[in-house]
A and B are shown apart, each in its own frame.
Chain A
Amino acid sequence: GAGVSQSPSNKVTEKGKDVELRCDPISGHTALYWYRQRLGQGLEFLIYFQGNSAPDKSGLPSDRFSAERTGESVSTLTIQRTQQEDSAVYLCASSFYEAYGYTFGSGTRLTVV
Chain B
Amino acid sequence: GEDVEQSLFLSVREGDSSVINCTYTDSSSTYLYWYKQEPGAGLQLLTYIFSNMDMKQDQRLTVLLNKKDKHLSLRIADTQTGDSAIYFCAVDNDYKLSFGAGTTVTVRA
Chain A residues packing against B (C-beta within 8 Å): 4, 6, 31, 33, 35, 40-43, 45, 48, 50, 56, 91, 93, 98-107
Contact = CB atoms under 8 A, between A and B. Distances in A.
A99 B42 contact: no
B42 A91 contact: yes
Contacts of A40: 101
B interface, how many residues as a size bin?
20 to 34
Contact of A104 (B4, B43, B94, B102): B43
Contacts of A107: 42
B109 interface: no
B42 A106 contact: yes
Nearest to A105: B42
A92 to B, nearest CB: 9
Given A42-B4, A42-B100, A100-B31, A106 B94 contact: no
A42 B42 contact: no
A18 B4 CA distance: 33
Interface of B: 4, 30-31, 33, 35, 40-45, 48, 88, 90, 92-102
A102 B102 contact: no
Contact of A48 (B92, B96, B98): B96
Nearest to B88: A42
Contacts of A93: 43
Given A99-B92, A100-B31, A45 B97 contact: yes
Contacts of B90: 43
A35 B98 CA distance: 10
